[in-house]
Structure 1
């Protein structure tokens, strides 16, 4: 049975935050496959018995093979203010990535200049600024090892396409299953082991701080890593500490 495309993590009049399954597109592309946006619009229309078009816009994207938190705006005011939060980097994002090779340091910061090939949909990382490049930064921490793989917590500072995937690969640590960036074999379900785990931000309308967590995919390989998560949902210091 196929995994359902999403589960709801947070919902109010202004926002819908869901946990996306790997393999689902956030927005349409040339494949014309049904998107997360389509699924979520159907959910809103059915739940609230809304006739006609539903206003629902993703505020950001996750790559198709990545799982985890995606924020949608349900109102134009919510959309405008959430996009401003992302633009100002007032959203704290935490990802978990599984890699085969041990990271060079337990904790570190990566800075690269990224160039995207739009035709091939692949990003290259450069140590120095090159024409057409965008600066990308992230912090990482190695959390532990299980079954010959390492779990790495990643906190992107910028939000560039494929950033985490290409930056970890540039360090010699491609994400498990990510053939595009150098992992040696695919995952059977075509996912990669990158999960958008936490989001922390101040609600753009209500002005209350939200600590949102997306459960790991219900899949044995992922679930074994839960023992490496000492931070509980009640940890109110998530925005300035690493798990572990």
Structure 2
């Protein structure tokens, strides 16, 4: 698989992760971004994982090419100094054109998460902001394109919160309950893409911003 590299220097590499590819190495024999990047750099190349995208999600990612750069960017991520903008195609229409969703999410052992009471053990606060970018009305359902500013990075957060608030993603076989009964032309892929990534360069401090178009 050919890598789509948006930027590369001695410290970082910014790439577009395709759908169906893992963000990092796993115990399976599936192709993953770390392995692909090591093929690009050479077997002994260093690739540091800073953030992740779910396997079916398409979008922009940054990896560190040395430990120092990776540590700085991981620290920036914890301090919420890395900006991540997503686009999603959802069914239904939020009650407001812009809004903030705040929930508590608990990760379960079966690779699924659920909305939980804030006092639930191990439940973590999940916050995102959204803006309606476009809406198409039809007799059967409204189709809405959202731009989402992800303020926390919880397990399956965008997919779970959108579904819980009444506008599930097309193609989301985990949280869109309609898919158990019927499928639409939009359900061929999960309609979620990380379209914008911004951060300060770990060495120079320069503000870096990368944008791509959603492929749905």
- TM-score, shorter chain, exceeding 0.5: yes
Question: Pairwise mapping of residues 1-244 of structure 1 onto structure 2 (< 5 A)?
Answer: 4=1, 6-45=3-42, 52-118=43-109, 120-126=110-116, 128-146=118-136, 148-185=142-179, 191-217=189-215, 222=216
Q: Residues 189, 31 of structure 1: CA spacing in aligned structure 2 closer, same or farther, 3 A cutoff?
A: farther
Q: How many residues align?
A: 208
- State the Cα deviation string for residues 175-200 of structure 1 (Å, max 9, x = none): 11001012533679963111001011
**Which ranges of structure 2 fall in alignment gaps of 5 or more residues?**
none
Asked if the contact 2:105/2:116 (under 8 Å) is kept, the reply is yes
Asked if the contact 2:25/2:35 (under 8 Å) is kept, the reply is no
**Which segments of structure 1 move beyond 2 Å, counting only runs of 4 or more?**
28-32, 126-129, 183-191, 214-217
Q: RMSD of the alignment, in Å?
A: 2.0
TM-score normalised by length of structure 1: 0.79
1 CA distance for matches of 2:81 and 2:94? 28
User: Is the partner of 2:190 in helix, strand or coil?
Assistant: coil
2 CA distance for matches of 1:138 and 1:20? 22
